[in-house]
Amino acid sequence: MDWALIWIVVGLALIVVEFFISGFVVIFFGIAALVTGLALWMGMSAEHGIPFIVFAVIAVGLLAVLRTRFKSWFVGTTLSADADDDFVGHEAKIESGFEVGQPNRGKVSYRGTAWDARSTHGPIAPGTVVRITARHSMVLEVEPLTGSAGNS
């Protein structure tokens, strides 16, 4: 089998693999293998490890120069804000629980959705507006607003 064809097939396979693992690394190895295969097909010498040197130089060069740019084009950027910023500091309303029998657990309504919640501030009457102080997975930590009516 021809070495040029092997490099080209490996390059194309690596480019396809990139679509399944999406880290923007493998595609540059694929492009480098593809270019190496094309260079061999056009007459580059295959002796003394020259194809491997060409492959390494192209792959490292592409990674160094283009990875950040390509990643921002295709992957986009992420918000630097914490995921809990959408909860912590906002107000919710007690729906149920937080009674004398179970003063530290109940349900709150936040943005139209019922959430499990807990508080260290004793019994809290339904309808009381509380502040979300933390989120632990699907449980909100809440505290009554200072001076809010409905606290027991």
pLDDT at 79 over 60: no
Helix residue spans in the chain (DSSP H)? 3-21, 26-41, 50-74
Closest CA to 24 of 73, 57, 58, 81: 73
pTM of the model: 0.46
How many contiguous H segments (helices) and E segments (strands) does the chain have?
3, 5
pLDDT at 149 over 50: no
Closest CA to 92 of 15, 144, 24, 23: 144
